[in-house]
Structure 1
Amino acid sequence: MLGLDTGQWEGNMTRLLSLLFHQGVLDEQFTKLQQLQDGSSPNFVAEVISIYFKETEKLLTNLRALLADEECADYRKISIHVNHLVGSSSSVGARRLRDVCVAFREASELRSWNGCMCSLAFLEQEYCYLKNKLHELFQIEQQSVIENGVRYLPFLQ
């Protein structure tokens, strides 16, 4: 990827974002988040997503602990954590993750330990995919900055 010009970097970012939108991983809320980024806050999206990742990892850890023992599962707390994940995923445009959380919430409302465990596994899988793809996107952007000396490069115009 070294030696690409600004247009090629933008093309790589656009292709990756198009894929993520096409797969339903991201939605229009992510685009709205990008529109808040400008020259005065060139790392805004990366910073918001970084906070989202840290919070999501804490919530996943808590959910794993709450579901560690089928007999002691606290479905009220599980629902609270999952509702938090629904809201934060919606706010950053993580559509597929939000949708998994909605199914997880339904399993917790039914007090289905097996349903919650399946939902948690699926949630962790979707989270890893989202995190890897957004990390890839931010690496492309950062490499563009390094290679081309561009201070601000929006993901999409």
Structure 2
Amino acid sequence: MEKFELDPIEYPLGKRIKKELSLLALLLVIILFFVGINVVYLTTVLFMYILLLLLKRNRIIYKIEFDDNESEMSLSYYYLIFLRGKQKIRYDKIVFKMGLKRYGFGSSIETLELFKAKILVGEIRKEGKWKWTEESINQIKKKLISINELK
């Protein structure tokens, strides 16, 4: 069993809260500036933000395990800042893509995207939020390529 894990310094609770809730604070300031205190707008913004955080693209992958005996990959991730999740993907269902991906205004970050068939499961980034080391990304990529060759 091979195991790759993001450095715990990269995803402590305080850092997750600060990075994920900064957009919500900005949205609330804009709403308060243009609309004032309006319960309906504030509730709507909170509801939409929670829905946005539930999207699969927001998963913070912090651990990947490859089990060659069971022929499956296990991903551990955070979603909604506090909640932990785990997903297992059989080797024959794994699809991956490495390339530049846009985040925010004009920033492109090299990202390894992991799919279960055609469904996005999570992303591993080389820079920015929740960055992994280049060495671990290269090792994960090599392992994924070797799995693809076995199919």
Q: TM-score, normalised by structure 2?
A: 0.28
Structure that is richer in strand per residue: 2
Q: Which has the higher helix share?
A: 1
The structure with higher relative contact order (CA 8 Å, sep 6+) is 1
TM-score by length of 1: 0.28
